[in-house]
Amino acid sequence: MADSKESIDVEIFGQTYKVKGDADSKHIEDLADFVDRKMREIVESTSTVDTLKVAILASLNIADEYLRMKKEYDVLQRELKKKVEKYQDTLDEIIKAKV
C-alpha cells in the first residue's frame, strides 16, 4: 500500500520542519503559520527567549483557546439539539392533528 501523505517543509519560529500529513499542503502551512504567530506573540508579551519555554507557553495558549471554543461549541450544540427536538415535537403534533 503506497503512502499518500505529502511531505512539506514549514518554518516555525525560525526553524524548518519536514511535516507529513493527510491534509493538503496549504492546510499544513496554515497550521505552521498559526503556531509561528502564537510563538511570536509569546515572545512579544514576555521576556522569555528560551525556545522550549516559548513553545510550551504557545501550546498552552492554543490549548486554552481550543478548550474555550470547544465548550462554547458544545453549549451551542446542546441548544441546537433542544430546538430541533422542540420543532420535531411540534411537527409531530401537526401531523397527528391532520391524520
**Sequence-ordered list of residues with C-beta below 8 angstroms from that of 6, at least 6 positions apart, any chain:** 20, 21, 24, 25
- Cβ atoms of 52 and 39 within 8 Å: the answer is no
Q: What is the pLDDT along the chain (99 residues), one digit of tens a residue?
A: 445 677 999 999 999 999 998 999 999 999 999 999 999 999 999 988 899 999 999 999 999 999 999 999 999 999 999 999 999 999 999 999 987
Query: Cell numbers of 90, please?
Result: 411540534
Task: Output the pLDDT for position 98.
Answer: 84
Task: Output the pLDDT for position 2.
Answer: 47
Task: Output the pLDDT for position 4.
Answer: 62
Query: Cell numbers of 5, please?
Result: 501523505
